[in-house]
Structure 1
Amino acid sequence: MPPTGPQSKTYLFVAVLPYSGLIYCQAFLNMKTPAWLEAHIAAFAYFGGVVQIVVPDNPTTSTHRRTRGDGERVINARYQDMADHYGVAIVPARVKKPRDKAAVENAVNVVNKRVIGYLDAEVFETLDELRGAIAERVYEINYELVRADDTTRIQRFDTEEAHLLAPLPDARFEEVEWKQAKVGRNYHVRADYQHYSVPYQLAGQILRVRLTATRVTIFNGSELVCEHRRRTGRKGQYSTLAEHVPIQHHNIDGL
């Protein structure tokens, strides 16, 4: 039966280590800078270390031209901040030079066959469900698929490549975005098209909202009000903490 509800387009991010061919692949809802940075951070965590050089393609999320028609592309500031945090050099692939990114071109072919090819007929209710299915396919590629030399990707990585990676920093890089938001009569603030509760006594006030890739933290001036896990996926979702709801609404909301 075909899906009848709203559908979301997703994009696959693919990273690969050049010697072992170990692949990281995951789905994101867009190709904007927060997703681009989060994909890199997740890839470093998956590999368990940091490479010396990252060779990305040239989407606008990674590089830009200083002036129209300029042949040189400059690394975007937020991307460079992430690179500095991890101590990695960013060397974008040259335009129309596929040999600069031969390893990832090969990895994309593998993903097309063994991830997209296996899942394209499936229907997933949530982004997390899709990501779980992708993770299973990537596990098979890295841990179970035996190549011509009778090794798996993870075997070659463990024996000959893992020790070349630099250790992960103590804290992961988090991009921070600040917004101001007015609390609605339903004691929720709206941020990035999602809704997060605050104590109902704050209805009508203007609060400061701090957003990272994973958390939403709300302040009244400099005072911490509350924190929520950041909602992703379908717009208009609600994150409501029971302690924020007035007692007369508990039975209505099932709290």
Structure 2
Amino acid sequence: MANTLDPMDLKQIISLHLDGFSNRKIGSTLGISRNTVNIYMKLFTGSQYSLKELLLFDNSALSELFSSHTTLDVERHNELMLYFEGVNKARNHPGFTFLYHYQQYVQLAKDPYSYTQFLEHYRRKYSKEKGSMKLEHEAGKEMFIDFAGKKLHIVNKETGEIIAVEVFVAILPNSHYTYVQACLTQKRGDLIACCTGALNFYGGVPKAIVSDNLKSAVTRASKYEAEINRTFKDFARHYNCVINPPRGYAPQDKALVENAVHLSYQRIYYPLREMTFFSLEDLNREIRKLLSAYNNLLFKRKEAIRTELYQSVERQYLKPLPSSSYELKDYRKAKVQKMGYVYFSPDKSYYSVPYRYIGKETCIHYTKGMIEVYFYQERIALHPRNGAKGSYITNTEHLSSTHKFYSDWNPEFFKRKATPHGPYVLSCIEKILTSHDYPEIGYKRAMGVIQLHKAYGSDRLNNACKRALEGEASSYQHIKNILKNNMDRASLFYQDLEQTTNHIPVHPNIRGASAYK
């Protein structure tokens, strides 16, 4: 069954044509086919009346003149409109194509429209969405972030000072699922903490984070290639996503998050207006309650609540969170010193690097618990951070063979070295080690004594140490002189006298030289 075009529609066609509208625009404005408009315009111009005269006709007269021309098949059209309701709901899913749904429509419809008419009728029905088609976003692709222009406040409980705090807003543009968090500043550390909180709230990671051109996020803004802050870029690498700041002076690129900020004023700021908070934790706890209520409100544009849209569509397209949260990194330049260490100025401490990098310029990446040393983007050392000032943190793998030998020096080391050469050598080494308040001095002298066995042998060294101990002169230089002058081979003076055969006969009233020690 077909319907004739309403006389009022005919007059509207004529009026719009006189106002300079094209046939295509007339059809779009009135919701009728462009071909129908073309046919009626031919009839109008072919009639004996001018367009202005036709406007003066009453409805019945105009209907009589153009009664034989029909428009659309209502049943066929209604069938298509019902099918479009399901098509429009599916627009949120990645991979959506009109061709796929048209092929399904052809199989279901008795008298299907052509593909061109299928698209024309869809755009006509959802004409309001046509202009903003570029704002429709793929699920799981982006997370928009921004700081609100207006601030909230907390009160210092001790001084009564009112402290203004920033409000961070994040939104997943496909489902409009929103996250809000208060923080002290817009600086890099707070931005990273808020982004981490947002990703944990969503339980996944989008492909890109679209940030405003914040100083803590973008080092240099550009319409074509912005320079991202080094720490923020490292944060994105940790979470396996990218940073994509909007173009400068292009507010349409971040319209969704701007709208989310505006809605947060209504749904979060306004209910908090008469409340007083004494800490960020208390403020954020209340924000989370209001945020939950906001995300569960009916989203009129999509006829669903944000939480439902997120759970049913967007969540499955987010990438999984890494096993550990990102730790904020800072950076320092340092030259490798001759002893094979880099100086870490924040803690005034030293960290070892492989000795082959001595004299090279390096970059230290550090967090609260870790120190990493890089040379031309290659990590050459990794240490747990030690906050003790003036400390030397050493990985023995970094040392040369000579340095490794010296790094093993301690009292037990020298005792082990001395034992094979005899008990008097061991006793002498023990006495040397305990005779100095500064152990490194004793280490050097003990090593000097032990090394004498290379030139004189272990037996002579042991005898020399025995003579040095009996003379209470167990120093390196004294032992060396004993060996050099062959004194270790001669008996002690008094022993020599007693062991020599005497010409005086033995008598109890005669005492030997040993009595005069």
- TM above 0.5, yes or no, is yes
TM-score range, shorter chain: 0.5 to 0.7
Asked if 1:62 corresponds to 2:230, the answer is no
Structure 1 residue 129 corresponds to structure 2 residue 282: yes
- Which residue of the other structure, out of 374, 378, 387, is the alignment partner of 1:219? 387
Whether the aligned pair in 2 keeps the contact of 1:15 and 1:23 (CA below 8 Å) is: yes
Partner of 1:180: 347
In structure 1, the residue matched to 2:248 is: 95
Q: How many corresponding residue pairs?
A: 187
| Cα displacement (A) at 1:175 | 0.8
The secondary structure found in structure 2 opposite 1:137 is helix
- Identity of matched residues, %: 29
Q: Which has the higher contact order (CA 8 A, sep 6+)?
A: 1
Question: Is there any run of 5+ residues in structure 1 with no aligned partner, and where?
Answer: 182-208, 224-255
* Deviations 1:62-106, CA, capped at 9 Å, x for gaps: 11229xx99853101010000011111111011121121122112
**Partner residue in 2 for 1:188:** none
Distance 1:222 1:166, change over 3 A: farther
2:280 aligned partner, one-letter code: L
1:137-156 residue pairs with structure 2 within 5 A? 137-142=290-295, 144-148=296-300, 149-156=302-309
Higher relative helix content: 2
Deviating more after overlay: 15-24 vs 150-159: 150-159
**1:157-201 CA-partner distances (Å, limit 9, x unpaired):** 1111101100001111111458439xxxxxxxxxxxxxxxxxxxx
- Counterpart position of 2:322: 169
Secondary structure of the residue that 2:162 maps to in structure 1?
coil
Match of 2:204 in 1: 49
2:178 counterpart of 1:23: yes
CA distance in 1: counterparts of 2:256 and 2:207, whole angstroms:
16
The residue aligned with 2:166 is 11
Equivalent of residue 108 in structure 1, options 261, 265, 277: 261
* Length-normalised TM-score, structure 1: 0.67
Question: Are residues 1:160 and 2:313 paired?
Answer: yes
- Indicate how the Cα distance of structure 1 residues 100 and 121 shifts in structure 2: closer, same or farther if over 3 A, else same: same
Q: Determine helix, strand or coil for the equivalent of 1:169.
A: coil
Q: Hey, what's the Cα distance between the residues in 1 that align with 2:190 and 2:204?
A: 20
CA distance in 2, matches of 1:72, 1:155: 36
Relative to total residues, which structure has the larger strand share, 1 or 2? 1
Note the residue ranges of structure 2 that are not aligned, 5 or more in a row. Answer: 1-154, 331-343, 349-365, 370-384, 394-517
Separation in structure 1 between the aligned mates of residue 162 and residue 392 of structure 2, nearest angstrom: 39
SS in 2 for 1:138: helix
Counterpart of 1:61, as a letter, is: S
Closer, same or farther in 2 for the Cα pair 1:51/1:71, shift >3 Å? closer
Aligned-residue offset at 1:36: 0.7
| Higher Rg | 2
SS at match of 1:123: coil
* DSSP 3-state at the match of 1:161: helix
Shift of 1:7: 1.9
SS in 2 for 1:170: coil
In the superposition, the TM-score normalised over structure 2's length comes to: 0.34
